[in-house]
Amino acid sequence: MLKTEGHLVQKIFIDSRNYLWIGTQKRLYRSTDRRSVELMIPGEYIYQLYDDSKSNLWVATREKGMYRMDKRDRIQEFTQIVGNPNSLAGD
């Protein structure tokens, strides 16, 4: 059984690399072997998960914008910046 520390699971997603992603009300977890999980993004209510044609995982949160995670696990955060038309319209 995969443990998510008692947090309610919001999204379950299998990406193009066959990784299992589990989004909860408090965290994002990844399982590469279906037996264990590793914490990838703490402190976020995970709203939606999507992978694009370049195997980037896009993570939409409920209140704090979006994240993009690439194949090397580099994470880039996208948030609303008031007055910047190139940022998110809202978090």
pLDDT for 19-75, tens place per residue?
Answer: 999 999 999 999 988 888 888 888 889 999 999 999 999 999 988 889 999 999 999
User: Which pLDDT score is estimated for 74?
Assistant: 94
Q: Return the structure tokens found at 68.
A: 């993009």
Task: Round to whole Å and give the CA distance between 14 and 50.
Answer: 9
88: pLDDT strictly greater than 80: no
C-alpha 90: how far from chain center: 17
pTM more than 0.75: yes
Contact criterion met (CB below 8 Å) for 41 and 49: no
Question: How far, in Å, CA of 47 to CA of 59, rounded?
Answer: 8
Count CB-CB contacts under 10 A for residue 22.
22
Q: 9 in helix, strand or coil? A: strand
The contacts of residue 85 (CB under 8 Å, 6+ apart) are none
| CATH class given for the domain over 9-78 | mainly beta
